[in-house]
Chains A and B, each alone.
Chain A
Amino acid sequence: MSTLILMSLLNGLTLGALLFITASGLTLSFSLMRVVNLTHGAFYMAGGFIGLSVLKFSGSWLLAVLAGGVVTAALAFIEERFLLRWARGNDLIETLISLSVAIIVGDLVLVIWGGYPRTISIPEALSGAVSIPLIDTIYPVYRIFTVGLALVIIGALWVFLKKTRLGVTIRAGVDNFEMVSALGINVKRLFSFVFTLSGFLAGVSGVVGGTFLVLVVGEDWRILTLTLIVIIIGGMGSLGGTILGALITGLIHSFSTAFIPQFSLFVLFLPVAIVLSIRPRGLFGKER
Chain B
Amino acid sequence: MTKERGYRFRRALLSALVGGIIIAIPWISSQYFVMMSVRVMFFGMLTMSLTFLAGELGAVSLMQASFFGISGYTVALLESRYGFPFPIPPLAGLVIAVLAAGLFGLLVVRVRGIYFLMLTLVLGQLVWALACQWSSITKGDTGITNIYAPTVFGISTEKSKTAFYFFQLIFFCGAMSFLAALKRSPFGLMLRGVRDSESRMAMLGFRVHLLRYAAFVFASLVAALGGVFFTYFTGLINPNTVSLPSNVEALLAGILGGINSLLGAVVGTAILKTLDVVLSGITERYMLIMGVLFMLVILFARQGIVGTLMKYWNNRLFPSRSREPERRPGGFSKKPDVVRNP
Contacts and interface: CB of A to CB of B under 8 A. Distances in A.
A99 B294 contact: yes
Contacts, number: 130
Contacts of B125: 221-222, 225, 265
Interface string B115-148: 0011101110111011001111000000000000
Given A34-B340, A91-B113, A232 B129 contact: no
A273 interface: yes
A46 interface: no
B325 interface: no
A266 interface: yes
Contacts of A23: none
Contacts of B294: 96, 99-100, 103
B309 interface: no
Interface stretch (B43-51, B295-303, B310-318): B295-303
B285 A111 contact: yes
A266 B340 contact: no
Interface in B321-342: 332, 335-336, 339-342
Contact of A92 (B117, B133, B245, B287): B117
A265 B133 contact: yes
B341 A107 contact: no
Size category of the binding interface on chain B: 35 or more
Contacts of A225: 121-122, 125-126, 129
Contacts of A221: 125, 244
Size category of the binding interface on chain A: 35 or more
Contacts of B119: 232, 272, 276
A265 B126 contact: yes
B291 interface: yes
For chain B, what secondary structure do more than half of its interface residues adopt (helix, strand, loop), or is it mixed?
Answer: helix
B306 interface: no
Question: Which 7 A-B pairs give the minimum distances between C-beta atoms?
Answer: A103-B291, A265-B129, A100-B295, A104-B291, A107-B288, A100-B294, A225-B125
22 contacts: A92-B60, A101-B291, A103-B245, A104-B288, A107-B288, A111-B285, A177-B340, A225-B121, A225-B122, A225-B125, A228-B118, A261-B133, A262-B133, A262-B134, A262-B136, A264-B129, A265-B126, A266-B130, A272-B122, A272-B123, A277-B106, A280-B111
Interface of A: 34-36, 38, 83, 86-87, 89-93, 95-97, 99-104, 106-108, 110-111, 177-178, 221-222, 225, 228-229, 231-232, 261-266, 268-269, 272-273, 276-277, 280, 288
Interface of B: 60, 106-107, 110-111, 113-114, 117-119, 121-123, 125-127, 129-130, 133-136, 244-245, 248, 251, 285, 287-288, 290-292, 294-295, 298-299, 302, 332, 335-336, 339-342
